[in-house]
């Protein structure tokens, strides 16, 4: 890890001398350091007991103990206000578990569950070994027409875009060259029959569109958790046909700046895909797990 950092620094100084360095490139190097530091912090495995509360990020391991009088272990995750936690059982835990709480997470896309603030219980048998990775991310809130310029303030966060204006195309501007993961969509609106959709535009500095994504159906985001990669100098996210106060929840990761090279506006006229109405599923009653936001 040190060697890599040294090499990056040497490249950085060489480019600096050649006057090639841009603010975004130095941002990118600093970001790499932050990511490394975060990963190092997560390396320590923390041993936990059969009944325990967790309120900090980390890797938590329970070693099976058939002598324990309890058949059920109960790990409580306390997620602080204004944060969202991501819980991922280890590969081995997913292969061996027979507990519903754990295997439900293993069945999710990316074997990961998102949990909003509050107390969450994970029940499992004391004869199982369980390792879970817990990541806790602050929430970064955005409204329509805002510009989130700083990749630092977005990376490692969960972003909630709220259609605060009730606009048909609620749009936000984001930094260049991102990997976006759609997490969820929330609504309390009962009148709109259609699911909103989301599409992403990549543009050059002059705001000429260089590409549009496909349309992502907001109602299927939680089930699919798809990702989309943007390129070029600017990224615009459109939350289309959503109701006032609808929320779009997603995360971003910065990508390497070399992808900016592919930024050539296409001569023929580019258009985003047209909106098609996909009917909202009937809200499942008495099963609301994700309600508070």
Q: 282: Cβ–Cβ under 8 A, 6 or more apart, which residues? A: none
CB of 123 closer than 8 Å to CB of 99: yes
CA distance linking residue 44 with residue 19, whole number of Å: 41
Minimum CB distance to ligand NAG smaller for 87 or for 178: 87
Q: 264: Cβ–Cβ under 8 A, 6 or more apart, which residues? A: 204, 210
Rounded least distance, CB 100 to ligand NAG, Å: 6
Rounded least distance, CB 158 to ligand NAG, Å: 17
Minimum CB distance to ligand NAG smaller for 122 or for 140: 122
CA distance linking residue 128 with residue 193, whole number of Å: 45
Rounded least distance, CB 29 to ligand NAG, Å: 38
- At 96 the three-state DSSP class reads helix
Cα–Cα distance list, 71 to 54, 99, 120, 125, 188 (Å): 20, 11, 19, 5, 40
Rounded least distance, CB 7 to ligand NAG, Å: 42
Minimum CB distance to ligand NAG smaller for 15 or for 94: 94
Minimum CB distance to ligand NAG smaller for 121 or for 256: 121
Q: 288: Cβ–Cβ under 8 A, 6 or more apart, which residues? A: none
Minimum CB distance to ligand NAG smaller for 63 or for 119: 119
Rounded least distance, CB 253 to ligand NAG, Å: 25
Rounded least distance, CB 122 to ligand NAG, Å: 6
> Interhelix angle for 2-17 vs 23-42, to 10°?
170
- At 93 the three-state DSSP class reads helix
Rounded least distance, CB 104 to ligand NAG, Å: 6
Minimum CB distance to ligand NAG smaller for 17 or for 286: 286
Minimum CB distance to ligand NAG smaller for 256 or for 285: 285
- Structure-token pair, residue 287: 């099963």
Residues facing 76 on adjacent strands:
53, 121
Q: Is 174 exposed, middle or buried (0-12, 13-18, 19+ CB in 10 A)?
A: buried
Minimum CB distance to ligand NAG smaller for 286 or for 291: 286
CB neighbours of residue 238 within 10 Å: 24
Rounded least distance, CB 274 to ligand NAG, Å: 4
> Which residues in this chain contact ligand NAG in the complex, by CB under 6 A?
100-101, 120-123, 271, 273-274, 285-286
CB neighbours of residue 57 within 10 Å: 17
């Amino acid at each position: 890890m040190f060697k890599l950092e040294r090499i990056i620094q040497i490249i950085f100084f060489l480019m600096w001398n050649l006057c090639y360095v841009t603010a975004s490139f130095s941002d990118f190097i600093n970001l790499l350091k932050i990511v490394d530091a975060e990963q190092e912090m997560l390396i320590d495995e923390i041993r936990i007991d059969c009944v325990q509360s967790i309120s900090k990020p980390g890797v938590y391991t329970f070693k099976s103990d058939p002598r324990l009088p309890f058949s059920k272990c109960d790990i409580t995750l306390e997620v602080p206000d204004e944060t969202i936690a991501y819980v991922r059982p280890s590969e081995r835990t997913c292969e061996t578990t027979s507990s519903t709480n754990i295997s439900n997470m293993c069945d999710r896309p990316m074997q990961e569950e998102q949990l909003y603030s509050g107390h969450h219980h994970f029940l499992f048998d004391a004869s199982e070994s369980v390792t879970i990775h817990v990541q806790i991310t602050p929430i970064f809130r955005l409204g329509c027409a805002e510009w989130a310029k700083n990749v630092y303030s977005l990376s490692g966060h969960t972003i909630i875009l709220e259609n605060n204006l009730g606009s048909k195309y609620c749009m936000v501007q984001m930094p260049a060259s991102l990997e976006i993961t759609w997490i969820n969509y929330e609504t309390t609106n009962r009148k709109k029959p259609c699911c909103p959709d989301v599409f992403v535009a990549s543009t050059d500095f002059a705001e000429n569109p260089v590409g549009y994504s496909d349309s992502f159906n907001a109602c299927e985001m939680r089930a699919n958790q798809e990702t989309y990669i943007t390129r070029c100098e600017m990224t615009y996210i459109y939350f289309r046909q959503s109701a006032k106060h609808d929320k779009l929840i997603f995360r971003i990761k910065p990508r390497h700046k070399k992808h900016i090279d592919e930024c050539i506006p296409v001569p023929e006229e580019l258009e985003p895909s047209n909106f098609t109405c996909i009917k909202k599923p009937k809200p499942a009653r008495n099963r609301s797990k994700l309600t508070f936001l």
